[in-house]
Amino acid sequence: MNTPPVTDAAIFDTLRKVFGFREFRPNQERVVRAILDKRDVFAVMPTGGGKSLCYQLPALLLPGICMVISPLIALMKDQVDGARANGIRAAFLNSSQSGEERDQVMRDLYAHNLDLLYVAPERFTLDHFRQTLARLPISMAVIDEAHCVSEWGHDFRPDYLSLSALVTIFPDLPVAAFTATATNRVQQDILDKLALRTPLVVRASFDRPNLLYDVRFKDSVEAQIAALVKSNPGKAGIVYRTSRKSVNDTAAMLRSKGFRALPYHAGLSDADRKSNQEAFIRDEVDIIVATIAFGMGIDKSNIRYVIHADLPKSIENYYQETGRAGRDGEPAQCTLLFAQGDIPKVRFFIDAMPDDTERAKALGALAKVVAFAGNSVCRRRTLLDYFGESYPHDNCNSCDICLGTRDLVDCTREAQMLLSAMVRTEERFGATHIVDIVTGSANKKIRDFGHDRLKTYGVGKERDKKYWRQLIDELLAHKVIEKSEGLYPTLYLLPKALQLLKGEERIEIVRVLEKKKAKTAEASSAASANPELFELLRALRKQIADEQGIPPYIVFSDRTLNDMASLSPRDAESMLAVSGVGEVKLERYGRQFLRLIDRFCSDKR
């Protein structure tokens, strides 16, 4: 049966009344209109770009049920809670539910009481579930996290290959696929595998202008993490570590300093992982210290910083993990702590891979991450270039390079000291020993080898060991020296070293200007025009969320609270002018927030 076309008035009324927005974000309207015209869609839109609205809005306007296939079982409940908070009739079906809960969802489906149904790809592959779909008035099918279809993607899931059957099962209905991360190669692979029918292809900008990218030399890592957390008091953040042990140790260290932090990794029990994740989502702790196992299952919009204390596996992983910050569009900071000494740790795991192709792929990905961390080019430009996008500006004003928080210092003379020490010790020692020589250490090993009698002994004692270790990292990065393989790697000279020793080449080291950096970070932090009122609104949001058993950001995002604190609405009409306040949320929560604002403004008279 043909349904009449959806009018512009209906589209914009739904956008305003349900979602609380007066206008679409970039690309949303094109996607929404294509789906309403029953056209297939493939959209690459960055985290925070508003993908869910692109299918939730058509789900409300098209008769029937929108089926969303998502691999994120841990996220489905939050997605459903968020949709329901806007008045959308939503449910999910997955293995976390009891039989009784699943039966209730099926009754709602058959009674046509749902607009939106989330399911896992494993369920879609079941014959009996496909038979059930044939008896339901499905309006459209959505594939979330579509990069899981591609073997070239960073998170390939074999069960996602079955989704190519969607266009056959629903020959007359639109199929829409969404992802936040896909290179051009991955995009083409997804399109080939899903066999979408002349789809609208939208490739939104990968730029996240609200994110500040910062790479720092890694030294005394736990002290650095603690300092970064301390500079973000009371704000939500994620600290990524490579191993379970480092996750546990870092979480314990932060707790010992009075921070509210919990660990998350695959070695914890399911109950502990779920409990720790829930505590973070519900603002009961501020920090999650995690392996990369964490993040895919959360939709928390008010994460203000992400710290990579170890090297990410790839640029895609880095982009996705940093992308968990600032989903609400408010400023957030992404800090990567990097030292050349991290590379062998990652290589150890890569070298153990049995498959030659996978090993080569992982090595290529590692090389790109190291290049990103080690260069002195705008971080944003480098990231966008990786995804095939050109950055149109000379200065992004939101990375450590463009903000001028780094200074290039000529250190050719100091490099010659290190190289001379390596030559005089016949290239038989590692970085720690070479640094001990130039700084004039009096340890037993130096004396036993007679290295306290070398010409280079103590020549660099006016500088600390951190400086010399960083300079060794720079020499490694610039291919002046190399590190041998094995348990006790030694440093040896490459041909470029001879030119440096002769003075035919020079080398510069990047120095972080900490004072300027702190000032910049402070200026870039997410701040309300009325911080006192914002904190009161945040406390009320937490109270309501706890009473309803939902995450605080589902009540209102930080961006909405900031807007509320700035506008100080005093009645229902002015509350509807706040971004993110639709009619359903006004009805549910508006009275309580208006009362608080009225009381605050009266007290300030």
Mean per-residue pLDDT, 351-357: 87
Could you tell me the pLDDT band of residue 349, with boundaries at 50, 70 and 90?
A: confident
The CATH number covering residue 255 comes to 3.40.50.300
CA atoms in the 13 A half-sphere facing the CB of 545: 23
Q: Name the DSSP letter for residue 328.
A: T
Neighbours of 533 (CB within 10 A): 21
CB atoms near residue 7 (< 10 Å)? 10
Domain-located, residue 518: no
Residue 179 resides in a domain: yes
Residue 528's pLDDT is 60
Same structural domain, 245 and 164: no
Highest mean pLDDT among 89-93, 96-100, 277-281: 89-93
CA 196 to chain centre: 28
Range of the domain at 222: 211-405
* Residues 200 and 34 sit within 8 Å (Cβ to Cβ): yes
Are 396 and 441 members of one domain? no
Q: What is the pLDDT of residue 122?
A: 86
- In this prediction, residue 524 carries a pLDDT of 40
For position 404, what pLDDT does the model report? 74
Q: Same structural domain for residues 194 and 224?
A: no
Residue 97 has pLDDT above 80, yes or no: yes
250's torsion region: left (phi>0), alpha (psi -120 to 50) or beta? alpha
CA nearest neighbour of 241 among 260, 265, 213: 265
523 belongs to a structural domain: no
- What CATH number should be reported for the domain holding residue 501? 1.10.10.10
Residues 280 and 429 in one domain: no
Higher-confidence position of 121 and 157: 121
Specify if 524 maps to a domain: no
Residue bearing the bigger pLDDT, 409 or 169: 169
d(C-alpha 568, C-alpha 353), whole Å: 58
Confidence of residue 126 (pLDDT cuts 50, 70, 90): confident
State the pLDDT at residue 43. Answer: 95
**pLDDT for position 347:** 83
Which stretches of 190-298 are assigned E, i.e. beta strand? 200-203, 211-217, 236-240, 261-264, 287-290
**End-of-domain residue from the set 405, 440, 470:** 405
The per-residue pLDDT for 522 is 38
- The whole-model pTM stands at 0.78
Out of 405, 434, 451, a domain closes at 405
3-state secondary structure of 140: strand
> What value does the mean pLDDT take over residues 452-458?
93
The pLDDT, as a whole number, for residue 376 is: 75
**pLDDT at residue 297, as a whole number:** 56
Predicted local distance difference test score (pLDDT) of residue 457: 94
- Tokens read off for 596: 């608080």
Lowest-pLDDT choice from 135-139, 346-350, 525-529: 525-529
CATH code at position 593? 1.10.150.80
Mean pLDDT of all residues in 46-66: 91
Percent of the chain with pLDDT over 90: 57
- CA separation for the pair 232, 528 (Å, rounded): 15
Q: Are residues 486 and 558 in the same domain?
A: no
Tens-place pLDDT, residues 474-525:
888 778 998 887 778 899 999 999 989 988 888 876 665 544 443 333 334 4
Q: Please determine, for residue 3, whether its predicted confidence score (pLDDT) is greater than 90.
A: no
Structure tokens at 153: 């993607």
Same domain, 401 and 414: no
Residue 525 lies in a domain: no
Q: Among 140-144, 348-352, 441-445, 562-566, which is the least confidently predicted range?
A: 348-352
The verdict on residue 447 lying in a domain is: yes
The reported pLDDT for the residue numbered 537 is 96
397, 476: one domain: no
> What confidence score (pLDDT) does residue 520 get?
39
577 and 486 both lie in a single domain? no
Residues comprising the chain, all counted: 605
My answer on whether 195 and 224 are in the same domain is: no
The residue out of 138, 173, 203 marking a domain boundary is 203
- Sequence-distant (≥ 6) Cβ neighbours of residue 495 within 8 angstroms: none
**Quick check: is 344 in a domain?**
yes
Apex 81 CA angle, 75 and 83, nearest 5: 100
Instruction: Label the pairing between strands 261-264 and 287-290.
Output: parallel
pLDDT of 68 higher than 80: yes
Predicted local confidence at residue 159, as pLDDT? 77
Least confident of 389-393, 451-455, 482-486: 482-486
Name the residue type at position 110.
Answer: Y
Inside any domain, residue 103: yes
**Which residues are paired to 178 by β-bridges?**
43
Span 26-30, mean pLDDT?
A: 94
Q: What is the mean pLDDT of the chain?
A: 88
Strands (E), 163-209: 175-179, 200-203
Q: Are residues 88 and 232 in the same domain?
A: no
pLDDT tens digits for 174-193? 999 999 888 888 899 999 99
Residues 403 and 515: beta-carbon distance below 8 Å: no
Number of domains in the chain: 4
Mean pLDDT of 557-577: 92
Measured between alpha carbons, how far is 426 from 435 in angstroms, rounded to an integer? Answer: 15
Q: Judge if 216 and 348 occupy the same domain.
A: yes
pLDDT at 489: 85
Mean pLDDT for the stretch of residues 207-233: 93
Do both 460 and 595 map to the same domain?
no
Return the pLDDT at 141: 95
